[in-house]
């Protein structure tokens, strides 16, 4: 096993890389991007070969888990070929896990191929089981297509975890419906607080925000919840529902800052490395990647220099009915 070679100024080993392979998506979720997005020109995107070289550099530096994100990662042409080739690091034992976060729209096409290349679990973003509300929150999405994709993933042998953004006055009334639906299919579910990213009006953000403290209180009124010590490599904290054995996760960037244990950085599809989701500072890795095609030394130096600037945490805050720590970039730019 590779020892952790990337340690930030707060002595946190960096073992988890989230890689956005495209800023494009076949949905336009209201908390993720605007309806009429301007996407990056192709020349600015890293090629699949460049993505492989860059991600391999992180594996060489001790990263053990890589999550492929977007936009919607499965809409990028050739992405399955990239993942098949990159799975050599799973076969060698240098990488513990290669996984993907998806909106589910393409899973019927790709689920079996994902399993065959060595992937064992996927995260699917799903905020409602109501087709009308689903169309509203995703703008372009079709719920039956997503549900069929989830079925395809389960049929292929993939573990599926549902990621649900908690949205006030949108899916509050579906809390128990979503939890029970996941339990019936032996799927875990993680709830996520909405984050202030992108050009969405401040009052809309505050109106969307549903604290997971309140959500958990509602669950506790019906179920007995036991806190679990286990971690999945990301920011979620988990509980077990004693009555069913089901696992529920909570990602709470606002009601409970999870930064003290942050082990991850995010790479965008144009080669920017964001050391924190909630800070604007980034490092340009595309420049050393393209300027030195025959040597990884400048690239590794740039990665190490970036990790040395990783901040203690983000500044997201919705207190006093104002939004602090707002990021101008959309979530789809950084990757989910």
Residue 159 to residue 264: CA distance in whole angstroms:
22
Q: Among 72-86, 180-194, 201-215, 264-278, whose mean pLDDT is lowest?
A: 201-215
Tokens (6 digits) for 59:
């594996």
| pLDDT of res. 201 | 45
- Residue 185, C-beta contacts closer than 8 angstroms, at least 6 positions apart: 150, 154, 160
| pLDDT of res. 40 | 86
Instruction: Note the pLDDT tens digit of each residue in 258-281.
Output: 677 789 999 999 999 999 977 888
Q: What are phi and psi of 112, to 5 degrees?
A: -65, -40
DSSP for 185-205 reads TT-EEEEEE---BSS--HHHH
Tokens (6 digits) for 335:
């990757």
Q: Torsion angle of alpha carbons 47, 48, 52, 57, nearest 10°? A: 20
Residue 238 to residue 252: CA distance in whole angstroms:
11
Q: Is the pLDDT of residue 108 over 90?
A: yes
Collapsing DSSP to helix, strand or coil, 328 comes out as: coil
Q: What is the mean pLDDT of the chain?
A: 88
| pLDDT level of residue 117 (50, 70, 90 thresholds) | very high
pLDDT, mean of residues 117-127: 97
Q: Among 22-36, 103-117, 194-208, 238-252, whose mean pLDDT is lowest?
A: 194-208
| pLDDT of res. 185 | 97
Q: Where are the beta strands (DSSP E) in 5-74?
A: 16-20, 65-69
Residue 268 to residue 198: CA distance in whole angstroms:
16
pLDDT, mean of residues 38-60: 93
Which letter, b or e, does each residue of 209-237 get, where b requires 16 or more Cβ atoms within 10 Å of its Cβ? bbbbeebbeebeeebebeeeeeebebbbb
Tokens (6 digits) for 23:
């800023």
| pLDDT of res. 203 | 40
Of 73, 15, 83, give the one whose Cα is nearest residue 231.
15
| pLDDT of res. 4 | 60
Per the model's pLDDT, the better-predicted residue between 249 and 261 turns out to be 249
| pLDDT of res. 39 | 81
Distances (CA, A) of 141 to 40, 125, 136: 22, 12, 8
Domain annotation for the chain: domains and CATH numbers: 16-334 (3.20.20.70)
Q: Is the pLDDT of residue 63 over 80?
A: yes
Residue 306 to residue 297: CA distance in whole angstroms:
14
pLDDT, mean of residues 107-117: 98
pLDDT, mean of residues 171-200: 87
| pLDDT level of residue 334 (50, 70, 90 thresholds) | low
| pLDDT level of residue 3 (50, 70, 90 thresholds) | low
Residue 1 to residue 266: CA distance in whole angstroms:
22
Tokens (6 digits) for 331:
């979530």
Backbone CA torsion sign across 327, 160, 143, 208 = negative
Tokens (6 digits) for 16:
């988890």
Q: Torsion angle of alpha carbons 280, 318, 324, 203, nearest 10°? A: 100
| pLDDT of res. 303 | 98
| pLDDT of res. 316 | 47
Residue 332 to residue 31: CA distance in whole angstroms:
10
Which letter, b or e, does each residue of 162-172 get, where b requires 16 or more Cβ atoms within 10 Å of its Cβ? bbbbbbeebbe
Residue 118 to residue 146: CA distance in whole angstroms:
22
Residue with tokens 């492929």: 68
| pLDDT of res. 278 | 73
Per the model's pLDDT, the better-predicted residue between 250 and 233 turns out to be 250
Of 69, 23, 56, 26, give the one whose Cα is nearest residue 42.
23
| pLDDT of res. 321 | 46
Q: Among 52-66, 86-100, 188-202, 211-225, whose mean pLDDT is lowest?
A: 188-202
Residue 109 to residue 155: CA distance in whole angstroms:
12
| pLDDT of res. 140 | 85
| pLDDT of res. 260 | 78
């Amino acid at each position: 096993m590779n020892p952790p070679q990337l340690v930030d100024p707060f002595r946190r080993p960096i073992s988890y890389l989230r890689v956005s392979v495209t800023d494009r998506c076949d949905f336009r979720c209201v908390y993720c991007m605007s309806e009429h997005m301007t996407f990056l020109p192709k020349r600015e995107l890293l090629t699949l070969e460049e993505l492989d070289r860059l991600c391999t550099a992180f594996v060489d530096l001790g990263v053990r888990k890589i999550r492929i994100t977007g936009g919607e990662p499965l809409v990028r042409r050739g992405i399955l070929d990239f993942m098949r080739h990159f799975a050599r690091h799973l076969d060698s034992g240098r990488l513990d896990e290669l996984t993907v976060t998806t909106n589910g729209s393409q899973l019927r096409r790709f689920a079996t191929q994902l399993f065959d290349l060595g992937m064992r679990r996927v995260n699917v973003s799903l905020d409602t089981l109501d087709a009308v509300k689903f169309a509203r929150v995703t703008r372009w999405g079709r719920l039956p297509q997503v549900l069929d994709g989830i079925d395809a993933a389960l049929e292929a042998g993939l573990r599926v975890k549902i990621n649900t953004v908690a949205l006030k006055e949108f899916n509050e009334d579906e809390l128990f419906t979503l939890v029970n639906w996941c339990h019936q299919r032996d799927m875990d579910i993680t709830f996520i607080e909405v984050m202030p990213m992108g050009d969405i009006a401040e009052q809309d953000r505050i109106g969307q925000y549903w604290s997971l403290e309140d959500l958990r209180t509602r669950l506790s009124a019906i179920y007995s919840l036991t806190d679990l010590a286990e971690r999945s490599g990301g920011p979620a904290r988990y509980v077990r529902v004693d009555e069913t054995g089901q696992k529920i996760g909570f990602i709470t960037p606002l009601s409970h800052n999870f930064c003290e244990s942050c082990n991850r950085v995010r790479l965008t599809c144009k080669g920017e490395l964001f050391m924190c989701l909630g800070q604007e500072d980034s490092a340009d890795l595309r420049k050393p990647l393209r300027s030195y095609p025959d040597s990884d030394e400048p690239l590794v130096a740039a990665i190490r220099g970036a990790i040395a600037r990783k901040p203690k945490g983000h500044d997201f805050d919705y207190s006093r009915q104002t939004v602090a720590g707002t990021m101008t970039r959309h979530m789809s730019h950084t990757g989910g």
